[in-house]
Structure 1
Amino acid sequence: MADRRARGDVKPYLNIALLVIGCLGVAATLYGTREFVNSDRQPPGSTPENSQYYLTQPVTYKFDKKGQRVYKLIAKRSLYFQSGVIQIQQPNMRYAGAKKGQWHLTAKRGFVPAAHQRIRLNDQVEVVKHQADGGKTHIKTDQAWVNPDQHLVTSSHYVRADLPTHRLTGMGMRLNTQTDHLKVKNDANVTYQQ
C-alpha cells in the first residue's frame, strides 16, 4: 500500500516536469528560428559600409526660397558618413523646375559631396521629360551632376539624347531644366528622325 501511495505522489510532479521540458523545447525552437530568419541583417551596432548612419527608402524634398518644390528624391537607401558625404542607392528624382511638366532622373547610384548642394548620379543615368503633345526627351549617360539651385544637369561623359524629332549624341552636355535647353558640348552628331 505504501508503494502505491509513493508512486501516486510522483505522478503529478512528473507531469509538471514534462510540461516544463516541453515549454523549454518550444522556446528554444522559436529562438533558433528567429536567429536563422534574421541572419541576413546587419549585426547589432554596425552600419553598411562603415557609414555613420543610414536610411532605408528615404524621401527628400527640396524647396526654393518662395516655397515651391524644386525636386522630390526617393532612394532605396542613403548612407551618411562622418565626413558629410552621402551615398544614395537607386536615386529616383522628380525635378519640378521646368515651366511645363517635370524632369524624371534615375540612376543606379548617387553621391553628394560634403558641404555641396549638387548631386552626382552614376551608372545608367536616365533623364526623361514627357511633353504635353505626347513626345518625350530621353537622355542616357554614365554620369551626370544635378545642380538644383542653378536648374542644371551637366555631364562630361558620352551622352545620347532621343528627342521627338531627332537624336543627339556627343561628349558632355548641359541641360537647363527650366528652359529645357539641351546643349551637347563636344563631337555633337545629330540624326533626324521621320
Structure 2
Amino acid sequence: MNWRWVSLAAALAAIVIGYGAFVDNDDVPTANHEMPEQPGYYLKDAVILRTREDGSPGIELIARRIDQRLSRAPARGEAITMESVRVNYFGKEDWQWALTANSGLVPPNSRVVQLEGDVELRSLEGNANAYLRTNELAIDTEKNIAYSTRSPVKVRFGQHAMTVKSLRADLTSEKLRLETVNGRFDPQPQR
C-alpha cells in the first residue's frame, strides 16, 4: 500500500508542477534572438565627391566619421549621421563655398543635410573675413541652397558684424537673402 501512496503523490506533484509551469509562464525568461542594431555602413576619415554630368567636381563631403543605421522598417529608410563635417561646393568658374559643422544628419530618403554645432559658411573666393556663423543650418543638395533652421544667425562682413533672424544662401548664384533683419552693424576691433 505504500507504493500506491507514493505513486499517487508523485502523480499529484507532477500535475501541480505542470500546472504551475503553465500558469507562471510570464516569469520565465525568454531568449532574445534579435541581433543588436548594427550600422548599415560606417566610414572613418571619409571623403565623398559628387561630380557633375561633365565629370567636374560639384560637392565634396569630408567627415571624421559617417554612420548609416539599418532600419527594421524598410519603408522608413536609413538615416545617415556625420561627425566633424566639411562640405565644399565647387562653382562652374572655380569659386568655392566651404561649410563646416560639428555634426550632420541626413534624414531617411532626404536630399537635405542638417548641420549642427558651430556651423560656418564662407566663400573661399573674395573676402576671407566674410562668413556666416550659426548653430544650425540645412542644405538642400539638389537645389544648392543653404538656409537657417534656428535663430539667431551671426553674419560678418570684414570688420562689421550683424545678427539676423534667418537666412537663405543660393550657393549656385552666390546670392544671400536675409529675412527679418533686426540687426545692426557693429565695428569690430582691429587685430
- Normalising by the smaller structure, the TM-score range is 0.5 to 0.7
Aligned residue for 1:56?
Answer: 44
Asked whether the equivalents of residues 98 and 180 of structure 1 are also in contact (C-alpha less than 8 Å), the reply is: no
Deviates more, 1:106-115 or 1:91-100: 91-100
| Divergent runs of 4+, >4 A | none
1:137 aligned onto 2:130: yes
Q: Structure 1: where are the runs of 5+ without partners?
A: 1-45
Equivalent position amino acid for 1:190 in 2: R
Cα distance, 1:135 vs structure 2: 4.2
Q: How does 1:1-194 map onto structure 2 within 5 Å?
A: 50-82=38-70, 83-97=77-91, 99=93, 101-132=95-126, 134-157=127-150, 158-164=152-158, 166-191=160-185, 193=187
The root-mean-square deviation of aligned C-alpha atoms, in Å, is 2.4
Q: Following the alignment from structure 1 to structure 2, what is the Cα–Cα distance between the partners of residues 136 and 98?
A: 23
Counterpart secondary structure, 1:80: strand
Q: 1:152 to 1:99 in 2, by over 3 A?
A: farther
* Gaps in structure 2 of 5+ consecutive residues: 1-34, 71-76
Instruction: Verify the 8 A CA contact 2:119 2:137 in the aligned structure 1.
Output: yes
Asked whether the equivalents of residues 98 and 177 of structure 1 are also in contact (C-alpha less than 8 Å), the reply is: no
User: 1:135 and 1:110, CA in 2 relative to 1: closer, same or farther beyond 3 A?
Assistant: closer
Per the TM alignment, residue 168 of structure 1 is displaced from its structure 2 partner at its CA by 2.9
Letter in 1 for 2:149: S
TM-score computed with the length of structure 1 as normaliser: 0.66
> Could you give the per-residue CA deviations for residues 81-136 of structure 1, whole angstroms, max 9, x where no partner exists?
1131100011111111375621111111000111112211111101112333x543
Amino acid in structure 2 at the alignment position of 1:147? D
Counterpart residue type for residue 124 of structure 2 = H
Structure richer in helix, relative to its length: 1
1:101 to 1:76, Cα distance in 2 relative to 1, 3 A: same
Q: Structure 2 length normalisation: TM-score?
A: 0.67
Kept in 2, the 8 Å contact 1:170–1:184? The answer is: yes
